[in-house]
Every structure is written in C-alpha cells, then in structure tokens.
Structure 1
Amino acid sequence: MDRRVDPLTVPITVAGPVPAALAGHIAERAPRIVVVGDALLDGWLSGPARRLGRDGPVPVVELAETRHTPGGAGNAAANLAALGASVELVAVLGDDADATTLRGLLQDAGVGTAHCVTEPGRRTVVKRRLVSAGQPVARYDDGPAAGPAAATCAAVAAAVARAVRTGVDAVLVADYCLGAVAADVLAVLEALRPQIPLLVVDARSPAGWTRLRPDVVTPNASEAAALLGGVEAVPLSGPARTDWVVRHRDALVAAAGGADVLVTLDVDGAVRLPADPTAPPQVTTARPGPEARACGAGDTFAAAYTAALAAGIAAQDAPALAQCAADVVVGREGTAVCSTGALTARLAASDRGGLLTHRDLLAIVADHRGRGERIVFTNGCFDVLHRGHVAYLRQARALGDVLIVALNSDESVSRLKGPERPVNPLEDRAGVVGAIDCVDVVTAFTQDTPAELIELVRPDVYTKGGDYTPQMLPETPIVERLGGEVRVLDYLSDHSTTAIVGRIRAGRA
C-alpha cells in the first residue's frame, strides 16, 4: 500500500556545498566503470538566420558550422572519462559513416569501445539539431526503424559479461529503449549482479530493472510518474515538483526495487530519496540556464553521481557534486561534457572562500585555458582586507576571464612582515578574499615569492598593486619568459594593512 507522507512534516536536507577537492578525488581514484546502453550521435548544425524562406514562413539558416558529439550512453561514457574514470562502453553501433564518426569521438574522449558490437547493415541513430544564435530551430532524427537483431543482442550480452568479469567498480545502465539493452543483457547482469559493487540505472523505463535490485535509479520527473503507473501527474515546475517526489517517497523506492531513487527535475534541481527510511530526503539546487542547453544534462548528472559513489565519495555529498556537473554542461552549448577542471571550478564557486590545493588549481586553469580564456594571477598577504585591496582586485579581474589570488602562508607572512603578523590566519584570509565577487580562485604558497606557482600556472597576466614598476618585481622575468605580461595597478595611498595595524596600535583606528 502506498503510504504517502506530508512533505511539510518530513525533514529535508539541502545538498552542498562540498569541497572542490572531491572532483580531483575521482580522477585520482580512477574507478573502472562499464556503461551499458544505447549510444547515438548528436549533430549540431548552426549559422545565422537573417531572413524567412519564400516557400514558407520559416527561418533560413545559413549553415556555418557542423559538429558532432556522442549522445545517449555515449555521452554518459564521455562524461565519466572526462571526470577521470576508466570507462568501457558496451553498445550497438552501425557500420555506416556515422558509426565511424561516433567511434572516433568516443575514442578521442578516452572511452574504451572494444566491447561495442557492430551490426552489419545497421544505420546509426543520429539526432541532428539546427541552431541559430543559440536557439534551436528544428531537430530531425535518423536511424533504423527496428531494434537490433537477435544475434546482435546476444553479442551485446556476451560483451557485457566479458567487460564485467574483468572487474568493475560500477555499472551504469543508460537505456534509451532503442533496443541495445534487451532481455539477454538483463539476464547476464542479473547473473553477474554479485560481482557488481554499484549498479546505477538511468532508464526511460526503470520499472523493467527492479528484479536486478539496483543500488541507484535516476528517473526524471516523467519517468518517476511512469514508475508509479502514471496515477498522478507531476507538477510542471517549482517547489510543487519537489513536494510531489517527497510525498511519493515510499512508492518510488518500492517501485525501483528498493534502490536509492534520485529524481532529476532539470531547472528545479534533484531529489534524492534514500532507500533507508530513516534517512531524510535530500534536495539540490540547480543553477538556472537556457532550456535549449539542457541537452544531455541528465546523462552528465547520472555519470557524475556514479563516478562519485564508485570513487568512494559519501552518498550525501554525491548529489551536490552531480548537480554542479550538470550545471556546467547546461552553461555550454550543445551536448557537452564536464571535465575534472570544470567540476572543480564549479564546486569552488559554490563554496567561495575555500582554499584550493595546487592540484585542483591547475585542473581549473587547464579547463579555462582549454576554452581560450585569459588567466590573471596576483598574490599577497591580504591580512586585514581593506578598500585598497577590493579596488585593486576589481581592476585585476577586469584584465581577464578568471582571477587567481595566491595568499602567502602564515609562516611566509611572519617572515615578511614580522612575528606579530599575520593578524588573521590563512583559512580566515582565504574565506574573506574568496567571498569577493571578482575573485574566482584562492590558493596559497609557502615560499616568500610565488615564483614556483607562477611557473606552474603560466598566467597570461600577472598583476601587482602599489608604487612599483614592473622592473622592480622579481616575478617579472619569470612571467615574461612564460609569455605573459606584468601590470602594476593603481595604488591607494594610506590604504595598507601595515598602516591600519599601526593606527590600531596607536589607538586611533
């Protein structure tokens, strides 16, 4: 019997923020994950639309760019690889030119395709979108009218068995109901279930997976309603959707075979319903983005959640991490993936003031640089934050796309400023500096100069505030050798930590 609950009386926890270091932990752990499902090819055709067609009131798109990305299970696998997992994909591929493109894109993304099965004479499923100025104009799909042949399904089942028997940390099922995951595959996974430490099911029809007793099921709102037989429609948007999910908690968990249920609600975030009835539901908050860019975000969410659990990250931290990964791809055009660097940056942005390790810093720098963005770097003690600091940091941020602030460690400050400094310890200084909206990343260094860190970061612009010239700075030769430029920014007289501390000690602050 469906024992419904009143969401207003149920304790609900809000996920996040979580440490940015968790993104790098996935890459360090490099869990081995097998993705089983329907792989397809996403195509994006874009160009300007300046007029309507004479043969009908439709925009005429002047094609300027065509690009392709893996879709469906291929997108989930590509996201896992981008996060540092070791990934094998088991899927059906055609033997046409689109299949060659898809296999090449998967291999370029770091996805193993040795277990993919090619069906002779089969066309690859392709979803092509026509886009102008970031707005979809039309979509047209191509592919076979029927699912794979029985012999192909048997070959997929055998490939799943080979992939799992070599040892896995997780299996992610990405079932788009295109026929790759047939009865043969379910039977193999059921037989091998004891050898699968973590089974995550992301399926259009999750009810068919209950006999495998998955650990996690990740339906969207409409799939959750279908899981309950469609007896009650899900509200279209807003808090009412979260309330609907919480109200049907017991029924959803039971219908999912006793698994943790993670219901994704696109712009409204996600709701995690733990299988443990004593654990409260958990909600995430999504960063709003254009609906046109939500393509593939569900794949990213499921992939990031699977990678997090497979890497040993706590279940209560995984939803916030997965939500940040989904937010990253929603902020980008087309079917995108979330890399370790992009996830680290997004986690850091949701936990402003956190002090990043150099490993995490370099992952963020690589992501920004890969997108052609300009890196600005500055350093200092920033002991007692004042107006001069804020003005200087705003000027520095205006010189590029991302501002890195490197703080002297407490020991370094004492060597430079005297034994009574710093006034505030490193963690406190990082928390205050990181809370300034123009600061993107905060890290620290233990030496008296940031020379070693500059060598690692290779900033496009190095800034310093004060009455210096570039020739006076020991960092200038290093920055210029690395191809960057040095900028000395405005100096506000009588605005310095030393002056403020002096006035306090003199009793005239």
Structure 2
Amino acid sequence: MRPLVVLGDALLDVDVDGTSDRLCPDAPVPVVDLVRERRRPGGAGLAALLAARSTSEVVLVTPLGDDPAGRALTGLLEHEVRVVPMPLHGTTVTKKRVRVAGQSLVRLDSGDGRAEFSPLTSGVRAALRSAGAILVADYGRGVTGHPEIRALLAELAGTIPVVWDPHPRGSEPVAGVRLATPNLAEAEQLTETRADAGELAKRVHARWKADAVSVTTGAHGAVLAEGGQCTTFRPPSGVVAKDTCGAGDRFASAVTAALLDGASTADAVAAGVETAARFVATGGAATLSTVDDSPKPEAHHHGTSAFDFAARVRARGGRLVATGGCFDLLHPGHAALLRQARALGDALVVCLNSDASVRGLKGPGRPIVTARDRARLLTELASVDAVVVFDEPDPAAVLDRLRPDVWVKGGDYADTELPESAVVRRHGGEIVLIPTIRGYSTSRLVAAAEGA
C-alpha cells in the first residue's frame, strides 16, 4: 500500500504540570510549583503521529527549523513517521500550557516560523507523488499558500483522496479535494453565519470546490454535505471526553486512513467520528506526550520491590499507572504504548507475564525471550519505572496489590471485558485503552522470520 502523506505546519506542544495552593503576594494570581514537563508534536506533527495509529506508513512533509524546538520536534516524530523537511523562515512555533489539576491556567506561545516559498526540493515532490492519500493539516503558517504546493495538490486531487483540514489563517482548499473538514467555529467564521451544522456544511460546500464538506461539532459528531445531501454522524453512546485536545487531528487522520483503505466518504467520516470520540475519551493528545522530568527512581525487576516502589509513589501523592502483557520481542508498537501510558501519570509499572503464563496463552513455542531478559529490556526504556512478573493467566492478583490509579491496555481490547477490570475499579482506578500502531505484533514478526 502507498503511504499516507501529511502535509502542513508542525508545531511543538508543551504541557507544564504543577500544583498550586497559594496566591502570589503582589498580584491575585496563583503560584504554580512545577512538577514535570511533557512534550509532543503539535499541528501537522500531531496529525501525522495520529495517522500512524491508523495505517502502517506515514510521511510528514513540513517546514522544520534548526533550533532546539525544531530538533526536539524531529526527535519526537522520527521513530513513527518519516519526516521530509521543507525550509522554515524564523523559529519553530511552540505552544506551552501551564496546567494545575488537569486545568489550563495560561498558554504561552513563542516562535515566528513560517514556510518559505522557495522552490520545492525533489524530496518533497517525490514524497507527495508517492502518496496513496494526502491529509493537508493547515495550521496557518504558510504551507498551504505555497504556489508549487497548491499546483501539485490540485494535480494529485484528481487521482488520489486529498483531505483538507483548514485553518482560519490558511489558504482555501484547491479544487477537487475529496473532503474538507472545518470545525463548527471555522465554518461560522468562513460563512459569516451562525446556523446549524447542516446549513453551514451546505454553504461551505457551495463555496469550496470540494467533493464533500464535513463540519465537525465536537461531542455531537459531524455533518457531511455531499451530493446535495446532508448526513449526521454521532459518536458512540457512553463515550465521554476527558481532554478534547487533538480531536480534530484524530478525526482528519482517521478519515484519510479510511479513504486510503478504499472506504467511501460517508463510511470514512463515520469511522473518523468514532475514532476521534474514543481518542478523547482515553485522554486525547496528552497520551502522546513524552515526560521530561527528574530522573526516574531505580527500576525494579521483581515482585516485592515493584510493590514497594508503587507504595512510595502513592505515599508522595503520585499518580501510578500500570500496564501489562507478554512483551515478547519488543517492537515499536510496544514502545509507543509504554510511552503513552507513562504520560498518563507519575510512574509506570509493567505487569509482565512469566514464561509459564506466556506458554499458556500463546502455545509451547513461546516466549521467544525469557521473562528475565524481557524484564531487563523493559527497564532499559525511559518510560518504564518498574516491572513485576506474574504466573497467572491474567494480572488481577498483581493489580490487587499494586492498586494503580490507571490501568492501560492496547486499543485492540476495546470490545473485550478485561478480567482484571473489577479489581482495578474496586480500588478506585480507571481503565484507559490506547490505540495500537497497526502493522506491529510479535506473532507477525515470528511468522515473517519463519517465512524468510
């Protein structure tokens, strides 16, 4: 399959988490004691990282600066997305949110970077022409106004699906895009009208020469205007948003991936609504953050020390996260899951199936790597603070002792009632499902090796 290419303006997003229990003596503002800093790609960078949760090969074409923020942004992306840089005039845009108890107090924006309108490199042209589908993630920093980019997109829109996620300060979509995806506020600003989403979708559709327009309405889903008809798509019932940051990027990336797979526009929008709803319900963009705080405590490999470590985290008021699995032949999908899990709290304990437990689940040929070595590999990861090995088929007994605040599993368990759920909830914990990266699994790696 040809890759999904994301084209747009990448930013660096930073969440600074802290605590506050007093006001500043010289002004009625809270004093925030900083606890940790979390970084993640923003803008088109976030869209590309999210697209990698829906398809196996993603390429990001974006202006990048050679400054600390630009280098950090590249480092956050390069393990899951192939980055093709364009020249950036100025410095990398960084958006820093200061948060206390999960609430943002202020956002500090820095950087003035904009896309240079210099001739496209052969690498940029080759990346765009290689695409099976293109997501234009416009964040108003000039990429969509580049004359050569626009000409190339207009040409490609006649042969492959192009999804255009617009921005109020960006350029209008080129003619022939498969779908444009403004949100409700953007549609109102564009049409200078306050109306229901269906009417706005029709008006935007009439203005832009796109095959279809989908107006997203947050918790209410999206309305699709196509072929003179309007269709409303609602998110699954019972899915409650925890952090809506990144919802629009998740919707657009899931829609583009579905179109890449051959879905109709209506089916792609339906898939996008459901995927975005589940994304925000499981923590939103925060789950993609990399924690940058003080050095982690000494990692522990076996039972009692891991439980002692968990007790110390609770004693200092920290938020304990746990996840579990076999982790036989560590691969990028594992690393992404662990990094996202760690971003949900202050420490991460991995509950690791023992060799006997793996054999019972996977068969006599597994595990390939012993529990001792699997634990050592896990504790080498910056995201993992401790590992505990268990012999049972499921980790319920271990979790009864750990009592984590958050229990994380991969999104492939979305329709499964986990046997350990009751234990986690009995201790007041919550269960978070994190989407897995398609194309990675130990079984697939083993099968590929045996067939080689």
Given the superposition, is the C-alpha separation of residues 432 and 189 from structure 1 closer, same or farther in structure 2, using an over 3 Å criterion? closer
Query: Given residue 233 of structure 1, which amino acid in structure 2 is its aligned partner?
Result: R
Deviation at 1:247, TM superposition (A): 3.4
Q: Of 143, 146, 167, which residue of structure 2 is paired with 1:204?
A: 167
Match of 2:114 among 125, 141, 147: 147
Gap change, CA 1:95 and 1:268, over 3 Å in 2: same
Matches within 5 A, 1:103-502: 103-108=74-79, 110-113=80-83, 115-119=84-88, 122-144=90-112, 147-148=114-115, 152-156=116-120, 159-165=123-129, 167-184=130-147, 185-195=149-159, 197-205=160-168, 208-227=171-190, 229-230=191-192, 232-234=193-195, 244-273=196-225, 275-277=226-228, 280-285=231-236, 287-290=239-242, 293-330=243-280, 331-332=282-283, 334-337=285-288, 371=341, 399=400, 401=407
Matched with 2:35 is 64
Q: Indicate conservation of the 8 Å contact 1:397/1:438, yes or no.
A: no
Describe the SS at the equivalent of 2:249: helix
Mark the structure with the bigger radius of gyration. Answer: 1
Q: What residue ranges of structure 1 are gaps of 5+ in the alignment?
A: 1-28, 235-243, 339-361, 380-392, 405-430, 441-454, 457-509
In 1, Cα distance between the equivalents of 2:333 and 2:126?
Answer: 36
Contact residue 41 and residue 126 of structure 1 kept, 8 A:
yes
Q: Is the 8 A contact 1:272 1:283 kept in 2?
A: no
For 2:153 and 2:144, how far apart are their aligned partners in 1? 10
* CA deviation after TM superposition for structure 1 residue 71, in Å: 0.3
Quote the Cα distance in structure 2 between the aligned partners of 1:432 and 1:125.
Answer: 41
Q: 1:365 to 1:127 in 2, by over 3 A?
A: closer
Bigger mean CA deviation after superposition, 124-133 or 79-88: 79-88
> What is the CA–CA distance in structure 2 between the aligned matches of 1:39 and 1:368, rounded to whole Å?
23
Looking at structure 2, the residues matched to 403 and 296 of structure 1 have their Cα atoms a distance apart, in angstroms, of 20
TM-score by length of 1: 0.56
Corresponding residue for residue 35 of structure 1:
6
Letter in 2 for 1:77: A
2: CA distance between counterparts of 1:433 and 1:60?
Answer: 43
Shift in Å at residue 281 of structure 1?
Answer: 4.2
Which of 94, 102, 108 is the matching residue for 2:73? 102
Q: Which residue of 2 aligns with 1:346?
A: none
Q: 1:19 maps to what in 2?
A: none
Q: How many angstroms apart in 1 are the aligned matches of 2:121 and 2:7?
A: 10
Corresponding letter in the other structure for 2:128: V
Letter in 2 for 1:161: R
Quick check: 2:201–2:224 contact (8 Å CA) kept in 1? no
Counterpart CA distance in 1 for 2:271 and 2:184 is: 20
Query: 1:382 — aligned with what?
Result: none
How far the C-alpha of 1:224 sits from its partner, in A, is: 1.4
> Are the equivalent residues in 2 in contact too, given 1:76–1:174 (CA < 8 A)?
yes
CA gap of 1:321–1:366, structure 2 versus 1, over 3 A, is farther
Distance (Å, rounded) in 2 between the aligned partners of 1:433 and 1:45: 34
The 1:91–1:49 alpha-carbon spacing in structure 2 relative to 1, beyond 3 Å, is same
In 2, distance between residues paired with 1:90 and 1:198? 17
Q: 1:263 touches 1:270 (CA, 8 Å); kept in 2?
A: yes
Question: In the superposition, relative to structure 1, how do residues 154 and 300 fare at CA in structure 2: closer, same or farther (>3 Å)?
Answer: same
What CA deviation, in whole Å up to 9, does each residue of 1:346-388 have, x standing for no partner?
A: xxxxxxxxxxxxxxxx9999987773576999x9xxxxxxxxx
Note the C-alpha offset of 1:432.
Answer: 12
2:449 is aligned to: none
Structure 1's 156 and 70: CA in aligned 2 closer, same or farther, altered over 3 A?
farther
Q: Give 2:16's aligned residue.
A: 45
How far off is 1:102 after superposition? 0.5
The answer to whether the 8 Å contact 2:13/2:41 transfers is yes
- Tell me how far 1:191 sits from its aligned partner: 3.4
Q: Distance in 2 between matches of 1:97 and 1:217?
A: 33
CA, structure 1 residues 249+269, in 2 after alignment: closer, same or farther (shift >3 Å)?
Answer: closer
Letter of the structure 1 residue corresponding to residue 105 of structure 2:
V
Q: Does the 8 Å contact 2:175/2:210 carry over to 1?
A: no
Q: Distance in 1 between matches of 2:170 and 2:336?
A: 39
Listed one character per residue, the Cα deviations across residues 177-196 of structure 1 (whole Å, up to 9, x for unaligned) are 1112224121232234334x
Change (3 A) 1:396 1:177: same
The alpha carbon displacement at 1:212 in A equals 2.1
TM-score with structure 2 length normalisation? 0.62
Q: Secondary structure at the match of 1:45?
A: strand
Q: Structure 1 pair 251/81, CA: closer, same or farther in 2 (3 Å)?
A: same
Taking a change above 3 Å as real, the CA distance of residues 208 and 44 of structure 1, as seen in their structure-2 partners, is closer
Contact 1:403 1:438 in 2 (8 A): no
**Cα distance in 2, alignment partners of residues 132 and 432 from structure 1:** 34
The answer to whether the 8 A contact 1:117-1:155 is kept is: no
Q: Secondary structure in 2 aligned to 1:59? A: coil
1:73 and 1:183 map into 2 onto residues whose CA distance is 16
* Cα distance change, pair 66–433 in 1 and its aligned pair in 2 (3 A): closer
2:145 and 2:170 in contact (8 A); partners too: no
Query: RMSD of the TM alignment (CA)?
Result: 4.0
Q: Distance in 1 between matches of 2:41 and 2:334?
A: 25
